[in-house]
Chain A
Amino acid sequence: MDRLFGFEGLGELLALGFVQNALIACAVLGVVAGALAPLIVSRGMAFAVHGTAELAFTGGAAALLIGVGVGLGAVAGAVVAGLVFGILGLRQRERDSVIGVVLAFGLGLGVLMLSLYSGRASNRFGLLTGSIVSVDSADLIVLAVVAVLVIAVLAVLYRPLLFASTDPDVAVARGVPVRALSLVFAVLVGLVTALAVPIVGAILVLSVMIAPGAAAARVTASPLVATVIAVAFAEIALVGGAILSLAPGLPVSGYVAALAFLLYVGCRVFARLRGRAAVA
């Protein structure tokens, strides 16, 4: 227990440049992940996000092997995955099996490439479980640029995206380009996933991309309120998880995932109690 929770020397740690970089990265990631999360939940895309994350891992592993930036590889892998999933299926049933097949293949390929890689072991492990010590100023700039881009696209396309995500039949009839939007959204998800992979790791991307939205959907049905809550939850999980992980020096992903999970359970319990109070 002592190893899990410690705040010794936290003050000094927080003063370090790379720690501050990491916290800023987490905060930026929280905004974009939280903003997308309710739409991901509305579209029933949890599994697609997982698949996208695994392919970001594959892309990162490939980049490591050929010696280009891991971040670049992750973005390439995730965006390609997003596009493939977006093109292949609007029908959820078909989409799920396609994702399952592609995900397994990508993961296998990634593991193979990591084994062939002979560089630093922490690079290897980082892709799967995340690590925040690796965020440098250049990464931070990339992160900020992508975040601004994602938020800008979301601001312009928000209403039709919401329409297409929640009520596709009527949206099509009202002239919303549902298919094209599903591609655009898949690319947005791919970009944000790729940014999240180096920080929380490919395995645990769902804890920042899904959990905040799923938790918010438990306590509100208003799309706007759900978005605000999801952003707040994503920030708590990411920034809080990062701070908690500092002193013990353990992987950030475990803390982030645990916080996200607690928030989700808390929301379920809250909704339960409120439902009971409403009946009584």
Chain B
Amino acid sequence: MVVTLERVPTVAPAVAMRGASVRFGERTLWDDLDLDVARGEFLAVLGPNGSGKTTLIRVLLGLLPLSRGEVRIGGAAPRRGSPTIGYVPQQKALDPDLPLRGRDLVGLGLDGHRLGVGLRGRRERRARVDAALASVGGTAYAHSPVGRLSGGEQQRLRVAQALVGDPDVLLCDEPLLSLDLAHQRTVTDLIDARRRDHDTAVLFVTHEINPVLPLVDRVLYLVDGRFRIGPPSEVMTSAVLSELYGTEVDVLRVRDRLVVVGADGRNGVHH
């Protein structure tokens, strides 16, 4: 939090939500959510399956309207295709025979929404794509078919694809899924460097807080319509999580890791 206070106290927050609710029919995913994410802040979004983490990202992308409340991103209402947002989607298998190379995937993140075939400005485009690829260590497989790459390689290309457009807000939906420890480091370091150098706000959905624990400014923990926002030291406690899950949950600190132990498995406590 120190980061955010000393940096840009006067500018509008990167993300602001007031009394935000999302309802599907009878079901309320979350209700009355107030959230400010400052520029350069790293917010981890945690919660069990189906708690509405991806839905929150869809709201911020302008793909889903709120049922109630207000949301601003960069001071304006969310809209599809905002150039100030980078997006790393929740992982989905790509067809192995898809005629698309790694560098094409990254390039589409830069200008895939533009009309035309893209003959103008090719040199600059190439340089930016190359730089994005290099930053995730993806140069070696830039020319391979994306569908044939490993899940981790695809995920790193996704990060490059999200960063190549130079975003102010980065929305990541479980970007660490299927990455080994070393590559988790690569990706988290990359995202951390990005927000330090460019003041990019990061919303980072994850099931596993430990890989990002040293970077996290605050946590948004969603469970079954209830939520809690605060620094990890305040949210990731036995008392708070027990209250959120409505059952006894223990948070243990083992060296510099947090281990969350549910009283039983029913609530799907992750970590």
Contact = CB atoms under 8 A, between A and B. Distances in A.
A261 interface: no
A170 B89 contact: yes
Interface in B136-195: 143-146, 161
A156 B105 CA distance: 20
Contact of A223 (B61, B95, B97, B104): B104
Contacts of B104: 162, 166, 221-223
Contacts of B113: 159-160, 163, 171, 174-176
Question: Interface of chain B, helix or strand or loop or mixed?
Answer: loop
A26 interface: no
Nearest to B89: A169
B117 A173 contact: no
Interface stretch (A38-46, A127-135, A191-199): A38-46
Given A220-B99, A226-B99, A171 B112 contact: yes
A216 B99 contact: yes
A151 to B, nearest CB: 11
Question: Interface of chain A, helix or strand or loop or mixed?
Answer: helix
A162 B108 contact: yes
Interface stretch (B18-26, B79-87, B245-253): B79-87
A180 interface: no
A168 B61 CA distance: 14
A174 B101 contact: no
Contact of B109 (A162, A174, A218): A174
Given A159-B117, A170-B109, A176 B101 contact: no
A280 interface: no
Nearest to B158: A170
A157 B114 CA distance: 8
A159 B105 contact: no
A159 B105 CA distance: 11
Contacts of A166: 98, 100, 104-105, 108
Interface in A143-192: 155-160, 162-163, 166-167, 169-176
A217 interface: yes
Interface string B66-108: 0000000000000111100101010010010111110011001
A162 B101 CA distance: 12
A127 B79 CA distance: 48
Q: What band does the interface of chain B fall in when counting residues whose beta carbon is under 8 Å from A?
A: 20 to 34
Max chain B Cβ within 10 angstroms of own Cβ: one of A44, A170, A218: A170
Top 10 closest pairs, chain A to chain B, by CB: A175-B81, A163-B112, A221-B145, A175-B80, A217-B99, A226-B99, A158-B117, A174-B113, A221-B101, A173-B87
25 contacts: A155-B116, A158-B117, A159-B111, A159-B118, A160-B113, A160-B115, A162-B104, A162-B112, A163-B108, A167-B112, A169-B89, A171-B112, A173-B61, A173-B63, A174-B80, A174-B109, A175-B80, A175-B113, A176-B81, A213-B99, A217-B97, A221-B146, A222-B101, A222-B143, A223-B104
Interface of B: 61, 63, 79-82, 85, 87, 89, 92, 95, 97-101, 104-105, 108-109, 111-118, 143-146, 161
Given A160-B113, A176-B113, 17 more contacts: A42-B100, A158-B117, A160-B114, A162-B108, A163-B108, A166-B98, A166-B104, A169-B92, A174-B113, A175-B79, A175-B80, A176-B81, A176-B112, A221-B98, A222-B101, A223-B100, A226-B99
